[in-house]
């Protein structure tokens, strides 16, 4: 008997184990030929079942591939999952096949296995040492490959079961067929790990048959899973099982002066007959188009019925319907994404829309500023000297342009930002600063509206000066010069550094002078 035991042993169990060793040694040379032949017959039958599953699965994959090619938008998500199942199933199947071949090598030798492969035969189906009771446990338990197989089976099982959302029976079948729970060891009369229960003390012939059954289960479940995925691709398709009347309006919201338009249809109508459509007692045209001038404001309701010949009984039948729509006053929604005013020389961002009208039907004109659309947002930039800008909006309704309203905005120059010295995550407008923070290689001067500012705009520092012990030096850009850093390194505790004459350029292109930053070295 090969393989270490993972179950706790009592003295009595150890004694029984020793007796079992003796009995096994006596029987090892004379395992019943009839029993081994029975395993061989079962194994051959399982191989036939695997071949049938392979053919069935190939057809499912071909059908799924063709469906995906014809309608990729509908099938691509599920087809991709099916391809992943195929890869994972092949990987598990091939691992089990390699597992079996290693046992065949241990039982018959590498030379015989190579010879059978050269002849185009499966060496696991022609093992001479089928009665060997040791090699399976040696490879599966002693060498740890049984535990590895258990983990791979569990990984495929959990992944596959996770794909099945609406078929509890199939999900349970996957979990049961590929279960890796603790098993029962007949030799120890106790529960043991899965690999111990399956492989310990098992003749080669029986072990090979068990693993062929695993392969058969993998192929069988693979086909069921892929068929489920292909069915899920069709799950969203409408299944017509009764006749209903439907109202399909172009829009449920109508601007006063526009038209309400809706199509009234009979679902699953027979193309050989033409239903009759009635609204408020009035017959419509053969297409069932209902149009009425939108007057007044508020909610408008209407009802009617469709008259047709029932396809099954041939008797006249009426299906009632009702619907409603709203009539609103002309209106426009304009919101400034940054502030409720505009800034001169700056690209102000606006969202402009008309309720009930698609954006491609909305037209915007602006006086006193340039305007263009980018990604659904209107960019409006007032020119120099402009004090007021007017935004006018119109929309295309029933093929004609209709004014939706306008709004005036005041124009101001961008407010002056504050100046800050930034070192790491900290920013300083004045006050105490450590030597390390002051001399940080990445420290620099910035211009910002601060954490509580309403605007967050990019300003570029062009130059600044530093007053160090009465000596004033200038830097271009936003960082200290090498000379300035050399002077700063000589400062002592309590010395004052003043960053002054700070100049910055904002998004409007104008240069502005900012307030100084006094810092005390502590």
CATH of the domain at 451: 2.60.40
Same domain, 36 and 22: yes
Angle 168-177/204-235 helices, nearest 10 degrees?
A: 160
* pLDDT score, position 206: 87
To the nearest 10°, the Cα dihedral for 188, 190, 196, 201?
Answer: 30
- 177: in domain: yes
Which sign, positive or negative, has the C-alpha torsion 280, 284, 287, 292? negative
- 505: in domain: yes
* pLDDT score, position 27: 42
- 240: in domain: no
Same domain, 32 and 169: yes
Same domain, 76 and 221: yes
On whether the CB atoms of residues 262 and 251 are closer than 8 A, the answer is no
**φ, ψ dihedrals at 275, nearest 5°:** -65, 160
Kindly state the tokens that stand for 347: 């690209």
Per-residue pLDDT of the chain (522 residues; tens, 9 = 90+): 444 444 444 454 454 445 444 444 444 444 556 666 767 888 888 899 999 999 999 999 999 999 999 888 889 999 999 999 999 999 999 999 999 999 999 999 999 999 999 999 999 999 998 888 889 999 999 999 999 999 999 999 999 999 998 899 999 999 999 999 876 555 555 678 888 888 888 889 888 999 999 999 999 999 999 999 998 887 655 344 456 676 777 665 566 666 777 777 766 555 556 788 999 888 988 778 888 887 877 778 899 998 877 654 567 888 898 888 777 666 666 666 666 788 888 888 888 888 777 778 889 999 989 999 888 889 999 988 899 999 999 988 777 888 888 888 999 988 899 999 999 999 999 999 999 999 999 999 999 988 777 788 889 999 999 999 889 999 999 999 999 999 999 999 999 999 999 999 998 888 999 999 999 998
Q: Which CATH number is 322's domain given?
A: 2.60.40.1080
Which sign, positive or negative, has the C-alpha torsion 396, 399, 401, 404? negative
Question: Is residue 34 exposed (0-12), middle (13-18) or buried (19+ Cβ within 10 Å)?
Answer: exposed
- 5: in domain: no
Same domain, 402 and 424: no
Query: Does an H or E element contain 99, and which?
Result: helix 72-108
- 452: in domain: yes
Same domain, 318 and 455: no
Same domain, 437 and 369: no
Which is nearest to 396 in space by CA: 354, 429, 437, 426? 354
Which is nearest to 497 in space by CA: 432, 426, 413, 422? 432
507, HSE (Cβ side, Cα atoms, 13 Å): 14
Same domain, 399 and 483: no
The last residue of one of the domains, among 192, 216, 235, is 235
* pLDDT score, position 16: 43
Query: Does an H or E element contain 156, and which?
Result: helix 145-163
Same domain, 117 and 218: yes
Going by C-beta distance under 8 Å and a sequence separation of 6 or more, which residues neighbour residue 390?
366, 367, 368, 406, 407, 408, 409
| Domain housing 515 | 418-521
On whether the CB atoms of residues 505 and 459 are closer than 8 A, the answer is yes
Domains: count for the chain:
4
The full 3-state SS of 196-212, as one line of letters, equals HHHHCCCCHHHHHHHHH
The last residue of one of the domains, among 328, 354, 389, is 328
Same domain, 91 and 147: yes
Same domain, 211 and 89: yes
Query: What residues does 452 pair with on adjacent strands?
Result: none
Name the DSSP letter for residue 357: B
Which sign, positive or negative, has the C-alpha torsion 75, 79, 81, 82? positive
Length of the chain: 522
- 169: in domain: yes
237, HSE (Cβ side, Cα atoms, 13 Å): 11
* pLDDT score, position 22: 42
Kindly state the tokens that stand for 414: 């961008």
* pLDDT score, position 371: 92
The last residue of one of the domains, among 412, 441, 476, is 412
- 1: in domain: no
Going by C-beta distance under 8 Å and a sequence separation of 6 or more, which residues neighbour residue 513?
501, 502, 503
Strands (E), 154-258: 183-185, 190-192, 245-249, 253-255
* pLDDT score, position 4: 42
- 3: in domain: no
Q: Which CATH number is 349's domain given?
A: 2.60.40.10
Same domain, 53 and 175: yes
Same domain, 50 and 82: yes
The single residue listed with the structure tokens 């004109």 is 365
Cα–Cα distance, 163 to 159 (Å, whole number): 7
């Amino acid at each position: 008997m090969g393989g270490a035991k993972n179950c706790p042993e009592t003295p009595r169990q150890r004694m029984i184990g020793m007796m079992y060793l003796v009995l096994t040694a006596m029987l090892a040379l004379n395992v019943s030929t009839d029993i081994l032949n029975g395993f061989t017959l079962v194994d051959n039958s399982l191989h036939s079942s695997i071949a049938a599953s392979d053919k069935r699965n190939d057809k499912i994959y071909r059908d799924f591939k063709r469906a995906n090619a014809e309608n990729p938008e509908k099938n691509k998500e599920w087809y991709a999952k099916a391809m992943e199942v195929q890869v994972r199933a092949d990987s598990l199947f091939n691992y089990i096949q390699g597992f079996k071949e290693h046992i065949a090598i241990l039982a018959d030798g590498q030379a015989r296995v190579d010879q059978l492969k050269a002849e185009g035969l499966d060496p696991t189906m022609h093992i001479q040492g089928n009665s060997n009771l040791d090699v399976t446990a040696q490879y599966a338990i002693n060498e740890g490959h049984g535990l590895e197989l258990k983990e791979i089976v569990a990984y495929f099982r959990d992944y596959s079961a996770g794909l099945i959302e609406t078929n509890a029976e199939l999900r349970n079948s996957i979990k049961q067929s590929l279960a890796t729970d603790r098993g029962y060891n007949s030799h120890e009369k106790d529960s043991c790990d899965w690999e111990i229960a399956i492989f310990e003390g098992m003749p080669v012939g029986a072990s090979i048959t068990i693993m062929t059954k695993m392969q058969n289960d993998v192929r069988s479940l693979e086909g069921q899973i892929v068929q489920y995925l292909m069915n899920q691709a069709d799950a969203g398709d409408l299944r017509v099982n009764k006749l209903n009347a439907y109202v399909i309006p172009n829009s449920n919201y109508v601007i006063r002066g526009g038209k309400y338009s809706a199509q009234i249809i009979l679902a699953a109508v027979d193309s050989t007959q033409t239903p009759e459509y009635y609204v408020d007692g009035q017959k419509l045209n053969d297409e069932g188009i209902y149009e009425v001038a939108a007057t007044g404001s508020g909610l408008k309701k209407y009802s009617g019925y469709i008259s047709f010949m029932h396809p099954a009984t041939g008797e006249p039948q009426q299906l009632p319907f009702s619907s409603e729509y709203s009539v609103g006053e002309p209106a426009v929604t304009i919101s400034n994404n940054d502030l409720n005013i505009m800034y001169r020389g700056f690209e102000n961002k606006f969202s402009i829309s008309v309720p009930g009208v698609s954006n491609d039907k909305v037209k915007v004109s602006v006086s006193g500023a340039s305007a263009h659309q980018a990604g659904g947002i209107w960019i409006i930039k007032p020119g120099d000297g402009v004090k007021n800008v007017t935004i006018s909006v119109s929309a295309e309704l029933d093929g004609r342009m209709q004014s939706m309203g306008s709004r005036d905005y005041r124009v101001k120059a961008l407010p002056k930002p504050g100046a800050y010295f930034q070192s790491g995550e900290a920013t300083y407008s004045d006050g105490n600063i450590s030597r390390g923070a002051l001399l940080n290689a990445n420290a620099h001067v910035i211009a910002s509206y601060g954490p509580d500012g309403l605007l967050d705009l990019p300003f570029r520092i062009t130059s600044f000066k530093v007053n160090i012990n009465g000596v004033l030096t200038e830097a271009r850009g936003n960082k200290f010069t090498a000379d300035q850093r050399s002077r700063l390194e000589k400062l002592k505790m309590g010395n004052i550094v003043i960053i002054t004459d700070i100049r910055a350029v904002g998004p409007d292109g104008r240069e502005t002078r900012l307030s100084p930053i006094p810092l005390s070295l502590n």
